[in-house]
Structure 1
Amino acid sequence: MTTRVWDYLDEYGSEREDILDAVSTVFESGQLVLGQSVNNFEAEFARYHGVGHCTSVDNGTNAIKLGLEALGIGPGDEVITVSNTAAPTVIAIVGAGATPVFVDVREDDFLMDTDQVEAAITPRTKALVPVHLYGQCVDMAPLERLAERHGLKILEDCAQAHGARHHGRIAGSMGDAAAFSFYPTKVLGAYGDGGAVISPSEEVNAAMRQLRYYGMEKVYYVVRSPGHNSRLDEVQAEILRRKLTRLDAYVAGRNEVARRYEKELGDVDGLLLPRTSPGNTHVYYVYVVRHPRRDDIIEALKRFDISLNISYPWPVHTMSGFADLGYREGSLPVTERLAKEIFSLPMYPSLPTDTQDKVIGALRDVLSGL
């Protein structure tokens, strides 16, 4: 059986009764869209993060897009972010009508290099989108100072950082708004798709609720301003409610796997393991390692029936779909170098010990032969 970086079946086996009860609860409720499960999940998710408001949506990409629109970002505006991210981060910025502007990432933790942000600010810059990547937070204090000085909005991309903390502050509580994805692979994943925007602002929340529902407020057919059809499904909301109570346990499980990797692979020459930046608590959405012969390693692991991912092999600024932004090869040297060297080991809280053993043994065997 092929070993992959993520699998939900072991988790489903242990949670099956609760998951099926969630489905049954919705089916028996008499309301399948924007019902009590959505209302309850939004309240509980906001409370978990210590913020006042949450609006759920249909996916993480739309969470970023609608979140930017709710903050007043649109055509003619520039939004500073990174290219070392999943393409949906940038697709959402473009979808909101804004222009993404990239800064490079740091060599040690692969997160936004906040020292480069101020030089990228122009009169058109209206927002910053720090990406809390791989399971830990961007250094937010410099960004908060810049936002205050230049009158910018901050939308945190928390798709990969459910439960992560930065100097005690939970991811999603440090900006004007924060966008989350509940894609099945996430630390808090649904059994389908989903997303949410949280914010301390009632104004942002009101805008989000209108945007996700065609631009209507409370009365169907009365459009205040053209919006979207972007609603979280009741079934997914009820499942997420149940799983939210286990989020801290999921994080603990991921950290346990990470500690095992560090113990067993920390002495392997040439293999750089993840570094947790000062003040951060890591949730290990993915366990990203680095080696200059990455491609050779991934190919060699196939003989052990191990298939690994790369997050991400093609920086967004190098993709043909974003050629109009004008970035050339070499413009973001750290991001481009990382894309040739990073890869992800299997990581999820229910990862069986024998699978960990298989991956560790195979990786040590392959690296000893390079």
Structure 2
Amino acid sequence: MNVLPPMRREILFQVLKIVFLSSALSLFLILSIYFSAKNPKNTLIFNYQSINSLLIMSDNLDSLFLAQNNLIQLRKKEVESFEDNLVKLENEKVNIDSFKKIRELFEKYKNNEKKMGYNEYFILRSLLKEQIQNYQEKTSKIIVDRESFTTKVLILSVIIFLISLIVSVYYSEKISGKIAYPIKKISEVLQNKPSFGQKLKFPLPENLEIKNLIIELNELWKRLSEINNNNVKSLNAQRNEFDVVLDTIEDPIVVLDHLGKIEHHNKFFANLVGAKPNSLNFQAWNDVSLSSLSYLQLRNLLRNENIEESLFWAVLDNSDKIFRLRKRYIFDSNKKRCGTIFILHDITYSFPLEKFKEMSLKLKESQTK
């Protein structure tokens, strides 16, 4: 058992304690039930036989007293029966004094030509009755004591059962504590959602198994941090590449995520709304700290979620411009909408001068309402 790891060895010891305790309790309950249910048969049989013998002797005594000299054969039979039962009771060595008196009176009866006076009969009858009552009391006492013993055994069994139950719960709690406590502490550290790269502050290990677990978790966390750093670098590189691509397009472009935050925008869009290049990323589109007229009017226009395409007037580089605004949705691999891209194509030079002025005036009036 000493070759087992410490945690397994401690758990095994606790389990063995519970098993041994349960086995001892079961054995005690079995023995208690056996002895409480077992009656003192020999004593009860002895008492019943003694009472039976005394009853026969009483009947014999009544017959002898009534028969006197009339039924010689009957008297002889009763005398033999009385004497046989008396010898049997004398051999039991119980209540020797009482049976000694009975023997003396009976021998006097036989020596007196088998004649019995009323006084002798009354004394013998009283002695026999006294012995019958004595044996009956002993039998009743045995039964009552047995019931009392059974009750005490039952109460003791319940007490021991409760004690063993409490001890078993205590050892079970120790077992669960050995397993659950360090794991709970480890889970609390992970539930705090530490940042990648941050060192995890696990509790000091109390055994070899928890120590190995903490080492593995630290290694796993280190690898996850490295993967996260690589992913961040890769995403930043892709973002920079995408921003470079967007900057090569002369139309103002902005990309919003599903939460309405600005994911990407090119320098032409920043110039349109009066912002510095790459200064709008990760900001909520409806809460950008800009006060330019173009931003405010464009924000009001984009609040209409049903809009798919529209014309937009703005002042860019001190010149009036008309843009065709187009909206396109971006979907992920699960065909779930994850973003929206807005493209503003400059169509200023596609109108004749008079038509352009007329369109600019109308758009300006509608956007300023």
Q: Which has the higher helix share?
A: 2
Alignment TM-score, normalising by the size of structure 2: 0.19
RCO higher in structure (CA 8 A, sep ≥6): 1
Q: Return the index of the structure with the highest Cα Rg.
A: 2
